[in-house]
A and B are shown apart, each in its own frame.
Chain A
C-alpha cells in the first residue's frame, strides 16, 4: 500500500458517460491483483475524500481505471488533463483470489461493476472464462475487446440495443446447463448481486461464488470503520480491507 502522487497520462471517453483514466506512478506500487482498487483524489482540495475505483489495468508504472460520471468528483476526473498531478493510494483491498483448481470461471458483471472483472480475465490465461455482461444500452457498452478474451462472451442490454434484452444474471441462468463452472465471480449494483444470490439459492447452485461490493469510504485502508458491510453472522466487515471481494454466502446483500 502506497500513497503516491501520480501524473495523468490519458483521459479517454470510452462509452456514454464512461471514461478511462490512465495515470503514471512515480514508482512501482508493488503487485496489483485483479479486483483490487485504488483511491484517487479528484484534484480539488475542497473534496477531501478520494474516490475508489477498481484497477482495470496495471502495466509498468501505468495504472488505468474506468469510471462512470456520477457526481462532482467523477465530473472533475473526466476533465483531468494530461500532466495533472493526482494523489493515489494503492493497491487496496483483497482482490479476487482464484484458486488454482478453478479452471472454468463464470464472470457476471453489470454496469460499472464490470471494471474490476477485466484484470481477472486478462491476467489468468490458464483459465477459461464464461462472461455474462450487462449494459443499460449499446452506447454504454465498453471494454468488449477485453471481455472478448473470454472462452465465451454473452453481452446483454436493458433495452435490447446490443445483444438480447436481458440482465447479466438471467443470461447466465438461461445458459447454465451449457457451462460447468468451478467458480463464479460477480460485480455490479446491489440489486444484481441480491438477484444472483437469490437465484443461486432457488436453483440450488452450489458453485463457489465471489462478489465484489461497494460502500462509501473514508480512509480506504481499514482504519476508520466507515465502509462496513454485514456478514451473515451479523458481525461487520470492512469493504475496503476485508473486501471488497467476499464469498457470496459470507455477506448479507
Chain B
C-alpha cells in the first residue's frame, strides 16, 4: 500500500482523487452506492447566490468517447447548500470544495464571503457566460481572470481559492499565470470544451441549449497537454482533470504536473469509478515500488 495522501495549499486529502463538480451532486446519491469517505474530496455542484432552475431538457448527448452537457447550473443556492448538505460532506471526512459561479463579477465576491471559513476550498467556475464580459465567460481573457480571482480572493480570509480554468482559450499558460497573479492559491483544469451534437434526422442539435460542454475519455489527450502547460507556467499547485477513467489516467495527469485529480464523467460510466481509480493507482505504485504518490508528480521526461 503506497501512501496516497496529498496536501494542496494546506488542505490535506487522504488521496488525490476528487469528484468533479456537477457529476457528483453533494455526494449523497453516490453514498447510497458506496461509502464516499474513501475518496479524497468532493467538488460540489456549481453553486450560485440564488437558486437556479437551469436549462430546458434534453441536457445531455453522447459522442464517441465523450458526452456533451448543458445543465445550466441548476442548484438550490449557496445558503441551501450550507444549511442542508455541508455537514453531510464534512462528516464524511472528505475535503469539501465549493464550486461557485456568478453571472456578474460582484456575484463572485458575495458567494466567496458567504463560504469563507465554512468549506475546505472554494473553486471558481469562470467558464459560464457572464454579464461583465458581455455574455462571454470571465474565464477567456487573462485580464478578466485576474480581476475575478483578485475580487474572490479579497473575500476569502480563511479559505484557500482554486480557480478552474476553461480550455476554450487562446493560451492556457497565459490564463494560468493570470489566475496566479490575481492571488489564486491553486488552479484546476480543464472545464468542458464547447461542442455540439446533431440529430441528423431531426436536423437539430440534440440538446435544448444547442451547444454544451464536452467531457469524458475523448478529451483526455487535450486536457493532459493543457495540464502539463499550466503546471509548468505557474508555481501554485495544479489539479488536473478531463477524461480520467482509470488509475493509470490519473497517474498520467500527476506525472504531467498535477498534485491531485478530479474525476467527472467516469462516474456516469461506472458509479464505482472513483474507488476503482484509487485502487488502481495503489496497484500501479506498488508494482513500481513507489511508496508515496507525491513522488510521481511532475516526473514526465520529454523526448
Contact = CB atoms under 8 A, between A and B. Distances in A.
B65 A46 contact: yes
A225 interface: yes
B302 interface: no
B59 interface: yes
A50 B269 contact: yes
A225 B271 contact: no
A226 B30 contact: no
A48 B69 contact: no
B14 to A, nearest CB: 21
Contacts of B22: 224-225
B123 to A, nearest CB: 17
A81 interface: no
Contact of A222 (B25, B58, B61): B25
Given A3-B271, A49-B268, A218 B60 contact: yes
Interface in B37-84: 45, 53-54, 57-62, 64-67, 69, 71, 74-75
A46 B64 contact: yes
Interface string A137-181: 000000000000000000000000000000000000000000000
B131 to A, nearest CB: 23
A229 interface: yes
Interface string A202-230: 00000000000001111111111111110
A97 interface: no
Interface string B243-273: 0000000000000000000000101111110
A211 to B, nearest CB: 16
B217 interface: yes
B53 A235 contact: yes
Given A45-B217, A215-B57, A228 B74 contact: yes
Interface residues of B, number: 35
Contacts, number: 102
B60 A228 contact: no
A220 B270 CA distance: 11
Interface string A34-66: 000000010001111110000000000000000
A8 B74 CA distance: 37
B32 A221 contact: yes
B85 to A, nearest CB: 12
A1 interface: yes
A236 interface: yes
A222 B271 CA distance: 12
Given A221-B29, A221-B30, A223-B23, A236 B268 contact: no
A229 B58 CA distance: 10
A199 interface: no
Q: Size band of the A side of the interface?
A: 20 to 34
A221 B33 contact: yes
B66 A48 contact: yes
A127 interface: no
A222 B31 CA distance: 11
A3 B274 CA distance: 13
A29 B270 CA distance: 16
A224 B71 contact: yes
A48 B29 contact: no
Given A3-B33, A226-B71, A241-B29, A217 B271 contact: no
B33 A225 contact: no
Nearest to B54: A225
B216 interface: yes
A21 to B, nearest CB: 19
B74 A50 contact: no
A82 interface: no
Interface in A59-75: none
A236 B55 CA distance: 11
A98 interface: no
A227 B75 CA distance: 14
B24 interface: yes
Contact of A49 (B23, B60, B75, B272): B60
Contact of B23 (A217, A224, A229): A224
Contact of B268 (A1, A45, A219): A219
B170 to A, nearest CB: 29
Interface in B1-40: 22-25, 28-30, 32-33
Given A48-B67, A223-B24, A228-B54, A217 B60 contact: yes
Contacts of A47: 62, 64
A50 to B, nearest CB: 7
A237 B61 CA distance: 20
A87 interface: yes
13 contacts: A3-B33, A3-B271, A48-B217, A49-B67, A216-B60, A221-B30, A221-B32, A224-B22, A224-B23, A225-B75, A226-B60, A228-B57, A229-B57
Interface of B: 22-25, 28-30, 32-33, 45, 53-54, 57-62, 64-67, 69, 71, 74-75, 216-217, 265, 267-272
Give the 7 A-B residue pairs with the shortest CB-CB distance, closest first: A223-B25, A3-B271, A223-B29, A221-B29, A216-B58, A222-B29, A226-B60
